[in-house]
Chain A
Amino acid sequence: MRVALFATCVNDALYPSTAIATVKVLERLGVEVDFPAAQTCCGQPQYNTGYRRATEPLVLRTARAFEGYDHVVTPSGSCVAMVRDNYPRIGAKAVAEGRGRELAGAAASLVPHVYELTEFLVDVLGVTDVGACFPHTVTYHPSCHGLRMLGLGDRPRRLLEAVRGLELVELPGAEECCGFGGTFAVKNADVSEAMGEDKIRNAMSTGADVLCGADNSCLMHIGGMLRRQDAPQRALHLAEILASTEEEPLR
C-alpha cells in the first residue's frame, strides 16, 4: 500500500521528529510512504483568523499535491479537521461568489482521502499494536479537533495501551481545551495562559513522565509552558511514542 504523508507546516519546520516518527511507524507496518514535495500548509492559521481568501491558494496547492493517492496520512488532527470541515466550505463560498468550481472540486477530490494518523492505523490498517515499546508513565490529552471534530474516540488510547511498558494514566479534565487555538494564544493571551495553566496543573497532578497528544500545535503551547516552569514532565507527540521500539528506543 502506498500512502502520501502530509507532514504539515508545523511538523516540517518545527517538529520534524514527529513526521520522521510517522514515516517509521508506517514503514514498520509495511506501508510504502511518499512525501509529495509540493505540499506545504493546509491554510488553517489563515482561515481561522478570518483570511479565507488568503487560504485559497493553499487549498488548491494541498489538493493538487496529493492528487492520485488513495490515502493521505497526517499526524495532525487539526489539519485533517481543516480539510474535512473547512475545505468544502471554502469551495462552496467561492461558488456562491461566482468564482467557479475549481476550489470546490479540489476540496471534493481531497476530503475523502485524508486520514489522521490514529484513524489510519486503526480503521484502515486495522492495527492497534504497532510493535512499539515505551517504558514510561503517559497521560493523554485529546486535542479539541481530534476529540470533537474528528471524533477520534478511543483510537489513540487503544494504540497507547498496546505499547509495551507504557502505563497510561487518566488526565483530569482531559476534554478541556488547552488554550492554544492558533492566533487565540496571542490575541487573547491572558485567557489562553489561564487555560494552559489549568491544563498543565492537571497534567502534572497525574505524576506522568510524559503528556502525549496527537497535535503538535497544542503540544507546542503545553510543552512551552511545562518547560518555562521547569516541570519534570515533557510533552510528546503520539507518533514518536509509537515509533519507539526496544531496538530503537526514544531517548
Chain B
Amino acid sequence: MSGTYLGMPAFPRAARDAVRDTTLRGNLRHATHTIRDKRARAVAELDDWAALREAGKRIKDHTLRHLDRYLVRVEEAVTAAGGTVHWAADAEEANRIVADLVKATGESEVVKVKSMATQETGLNEALEAEGIRAYETDLAELIVQLGKDRPSHILVPAIHRNRGEIRDIFRSEMGEWGRPAPEGLTDTPAELAEAARLHLREKFLRAKVGISGANFMVAETGTLVVVESEGNGRMCLTLPETLISVVGIEKVIPTWRDLEVFLQLLPRSSTAERMNPYTSMWTGTTDGDGPRAFHLVLLDNGRTDTLADEVGRQALRCIRCSACLNVCPVYERAGGHAYGSVYPGPIGAILSPQLRGTGSEIDASLPYASSLCGACYEVCPVAIDIPEVLVHLREKVADQGGAGHRLERAAMRTATWLLDHPAALNAAERLASSTRKLHPKRLPGPGARQWTNSRDLPDLPAEPFRDWWKKNHA
C-alpha cells in the first residue's frame, strides 16, 4: 500500500490529537450525522432492502469463491473487445505498468477519475517520480491534492476541511497546477465549484491519457462501471485517447443481472440517493468513439492473501460505499487520518491489516480501534460482519506477541484461571470487599490509570452476590 503512510503512530496516539481538535470533531460530527440520517431515510424507502442486502452478499461471496474463473472471463472479454489486460501482484508492479503505459504515449500529464485502488498503490507519487503529473478531477480529491493532504474518507476525501479552508487552498495552490482561482474567490459553494470547474476544464481538454478505477467489472462482457456524482469522471473516461483502469481483483461480478443489485445498494448506502447522477460503462474500445486504447490493470496487492482467510475474506465484499464510516462513533471522533491508510473507519480497520499484514505499529493497532458496537455491520449493504473480523484479527495480533501483548496474555490467563476456580474467585471477591474502604478513587498503573482519568471506579459491594445468595437462598 502507499508508502506515504509508513511509520504512522499506532491508532490511539494518532486519534488523540483529533479527539482534542474541537473544530475537526464538529465538522465530522455534522457531516457524518447528516449523511447517516439521509441514508437511513433512503434505505427505509425500499421494503426489500434486507433481501437486496442478502443478494449483494451472496453474489459477492459466490464470485470470490470462483474468483479465478471470473477473472479469466474478464480477461477474455476485455481482450476480445479490443482492450489489453495486465496483472499486477502488488502496488509497485501496478505503478510500474501504468508509468510505462503512459510513457509509451509520450505524454507527461494524465487526468484521473477518483479511484481508491490508485490511492492504495500511491500511483500519483510513483508517476511524479517518473516525471508524470497526475491531475485529480474529483472535487474532493482535487482539494486533497492541492492541499498536499491525505484523504480522510472513502467517499468525501476532504470531509475534514471546511469551506474557508478550501477557499484558501484554491487561492494559494490552483495557480501552481494550472488555471489560478478567480480574483476575490469567496467560500460560497457555487463560487468554489465554479473555480474548480474552470480549473479542471483546461485539464480535460488537454489530456491525452485518463486513469480510472472501477466500482464493478462485469465478467460476461468485460464491461467496467464507474458510479459518480459530478460527471468529472465521465469526462476523463471519454475525452482522452488512452484510458488506463486500475481495478482490484475483487471488483468483478459475474453478470449484468448482478449489477442491478449493486446499483440499488451502492447509491443509497453511500450518498443516500435513489440513483447516482452518473453511471458510466465502457467495454474495450469502440471505433470513432472514446479512447483509442484501453488498458485494464488487475490489482492483487494482498487480496489473494485476504481471500485465504476464512473469516477475514468477507472484507473483500466491500463496495466502498462508506456507510460504515458515517455511523462509526470512533471514526467520528478520531477522524480519518488516524487510521493511517486510504481506507479509514471500520472497513479500514479490517481491510488495511489484511492487505498490508499486521507487522507495523499502526496495522497492529487497527483491530482494536473499535468498541465493537456493531453499527457498521448494521448498515453495511453487503453484510460484512466487521466486529467478527475485528475480533478475529485481534487474535492474530495477540498471537504474534509484541508490545504489551505478552503481559496482556499473562493477565488474561490468570483471569481465566481465577474464573475457572469459583472458590478462588470467591476468596478474591471477599478480599476485595473487605478492604473496600481502602480503595482509592484514582489508581496508578497501566489500564487503571486510563480508566480513572475520567471516571470513578464503582464502589465495591459489602459482599459479592454469591455470598448474598448463600445466606439468603441456599
Q: Which residues of A come within 8 Å of B, CB atoms?
A: 7, 9, 11-17, 19-20, 23, 33, 35, 37-41, 43, 45-52, 54-55, 57-58, 61, 85-86, 89, 96, 144-145, 148-149, 175-177, 179-197, 220-221, 223-225, 227-228
B450 touching A186 by the CB < 8 A rule? Answer: yes
6 contacts between A and B (CB under 8 A): A7-B466, A13-B461, A58-B420, A188-B15, A190-B16, A224-B458
Known: A46-B412, A144-B375, A190-B19. A179 touches B466 (CB 8 A): no
B466 touching A57 by the CB < 8 A rule? Answer: no
CB distance from A28 to the nearest CB of B (A): 15
B368 touching A184 by the CB < 8 A rule? Answer: yes
> Please, how many angstroms separate the alpha-carbon atoms of A145 and B375 in the complex?
10
CB distance from A50 to the nearest CB of B (A): 3
> Please, how many angstroms separate the alpha-carbon atoms of A145 and B447 in the complex?
23
Nearest residue in B to A222 (C-beta to C-beta)? Answer: B455
B419 touching A192 by the CB < 8 A rule? Answer: no
Besides A19-B465, A35-B466, 19 other A-B contacts (C-beta < 8 A): A13-B432, A14-B458, A49-B412, A51-B416, A52-B395, A54-B412, A57-B416, A148-B378, A176-B373, A177-B329, A177-B373, A179-B371, A182-B371, A182-B372, A188-B15, A189-B12, A190-B15, A191-B330, A227-B455
Q: Which residues of B come within 8 Å of A, CB atoms?
A: 11-12, 15-16, 19-20, 25, 310, 329-330, 333-334, 367-375, 377-378, 388, 391, 393-399, 408-409, 412-413, 415-416, 419-420, 422, 425, 429, 432, 446-447, 450-451, 453-458, 460-461, 463-466, 468-469, 473
Nearest residue in B to A7 (C-beta to C-beta)? Answer: B465
A228 touching B454 by the CB < 8 A rule? Answer: yes
A50 touching B391 by the CB < 8 A rule? Answer: yes
Known: A16-B464, A35-B473. A51 touches B398 (CB 8 A): yes
> Please, how many angstroms separate the alpha-carbon atoms of A13 and B310 in the complex?
38
Nearest residue in A to B331 (C-beta to C-beta)? Answer: A191
A224 touching B468 by the CB < 8 A rule? Answer: no
Which residues of B are found within 8 Å of A189, using beta-carbon distances?
Answer: 12, 450-451, 453-454
Which residues of B are found within 8 Å of A175, using beta-carbon distances?
Answer: 375
A194 touching B455 by the CB < 8 A rule? Answer: no
CB distance from B312 to the nearest CB of A (A): 13
A191 touching B398 by the CB < 8 A rule? Answer: no
B461 touching A16 by the CB < 8 A rule? Answer: yes
CB distance from A204 to the nearest CB of B (A): 15
Which residues of B are found within 8 Å of A15, using beta-carbon distances?
Answer: 458, 461
> Please, how many angstroms separate the alpha-carbon atoms of A177 and B378 in the complex?
13
B368 touching A224 by the CB < 8 A rule? Answer: no
> Please, how many angstroms separate the alpha-carbon atoms of A43 and B16 in the complex?
30
CB distance from A38 to the nearest CB of B (A): 6
Q: What is the predominant secondary structure among interface residues of chain A facing chain B?
A: helix
Which residues of B are found within 8 Å of A57, using beta-carbon distances?
Answer: 416, 420
CB distance from B389 to the nearest CB of A (A): 12
CB distance from B279 to the nearest CB of A (A): 32
Which residues of A are found within 8 Å of B420, using beta-carbon distances?
Answer: 40, 57-58, 61
B460 touching A49 by the CB < 8 A rule? Answer: no
> Please, how many angstroms separate the alpha-carbon atoms of A76 and B204 in the complex?
59
B394 touching A176 by the CB < 8 A rule? Answer: no
> Please, how many angstroms separate the alpha-carbon atoms of A148 and B329 in the complex?
15
A179 touching B329 by the CB < 8 A rule? Answer: yes
A188 touching B455 by the CB < 8 A rule? Answer: no
Q: What is the predominant secondary structure among interface residues of chain B facing chain A?
A: helix
Known: A38-B422, A52-B395. A193 touches B453 (CB 8 A): yes
A58 touching B419 by the CB < 8 A rule? Answer: yes
Which residues of A are found within 8 Å of B469, using beta-carbon distances?
Answer: 23, 35, 37
Contact of B19 among A13, A40, A194 (CB under 8 A): A194
B391 touching A12 by the CB < 8 A rule? Answer: no
Q: Which among B419, B446, B447 has the highest number of chain A CB atoms within 10 Å? A: B419
> Please, how many angstroms separate the alpha-carbon atoms of A221 and B455 in the complex?
7
> Please, how many angstroms separate the alpha-carbon atoms of A23 and B15 in the complex?
43
B375 touching A17 by the CB < 8 A rule? Answer: no
> Please, how many angstroms separate the alpha-carbon atoms of A224 and B441 in the complex?
10
B370 touching A220 by the CB < 8 A rule? Answer: no
CB distance from A149 to the nearest CB of B (A): 6
> Please, how many angstroms separate the alpha-carbon atoms of A44 and B420 in the complex?
14
A58 touching B416 by the CB < 8 A rule? Answer: yes
A20 touching B458 by the CB < 8 A rule? Answer: no
Which residues of A are found within 8 Å of B460, using beta-carbon distances?
Answer: 14
Which residues of A are found within 8 Å of B473, using beta-carbon distances?
Answer: 23, 33, 35
Which residues of B are found within 8 Å of A47, using beta-carbon distances?
Answer: 391
> Please, how many angstroms separate the alpha-carbon atoms of A251 and B375 in the complex?
36
> Please, how many angstroms separate the alpha-carbon atoms of A186 and B391 in the complex?
16
CB distance from B329 to the nearest CB of A (A): 5
CB distance from A136 to the nearest CB of B (A): 20
**8 closest Cβ contacts across the A-B interface?**
A181-B371, A224-B455, A50-B394, A177-B373, A16-B465, A50-B398, A189-B450, A144-B373
A188 touching B330 by the CB < 8 A rule? Answer: yes
Q: Which among B12, B370, B378, B458 has the highest number of chain A CB atoms within 10 Å? A: B458
Known: A54-B413, A177-B329, A194-B333. A184 touches B371 (CB 8 A): yes
Contact of A51 among B374, B412, B422 (CB under 8 A): B412
> Please, how many angstroms separate the alpha-carbon atoms of A39 and B465 in the complex?
12
A191 touching B15 by the CB < 8 A rule? Answer: yes
Contact of A228 among B11, B12, B412, B455 (CB under 8 A): B455
CB distance from B425 to the nearest CB of A (A): 6
B408 touching A49 by the CB < 8 A rule? Answer: yes
Contact of A16 among B16, B398, B468 (CB under 8 A): B468
> Please, how many angstroms separate the alpha-carbon atoms of A228 and B452 in the complex?
9
> Please, how many angstroms separate the alpha-carbon atoms of A61 and B422 in the complex?
10
A54 touching B458 by the CB < 8 A rule? Answer: no
Known: A17-B461, A46-B412, A189-B450. A144 touches B371 (CB 8 A): yes
B468 touching A20 by the CB < 8 A rule? Answer: yes
CB distance from A105 to the nearest CB of B (A): 19
Which residues of B are found within 8 Å of A196, using beta-carbon distances?
Answer: 454-455
Which residues of A are found within 8 Å of B334, using beta-carbon distances?
Answer: 191
A185 touching B15 by the CB < 8 A rule? Answer: no
Contact of A176 among B329, B372, B429, B450 (CB under 8 A): B329
Q: Which among A55, A144, A225 has the highest number of chain B CB atoms within 10 Å? A: A144
Nearest residue in B to A81 (C-beta to C-beta)? Answer: B374
Which residues of A are found within 8 Å of B453, using beta-carbon distances?
Answer: 189, 193
Contact of B12 among A12, A38, A52, A187 (CB under 8 A): A187
Nearest residue in B to A27 (C-beta to C-beta)? Answer: B473
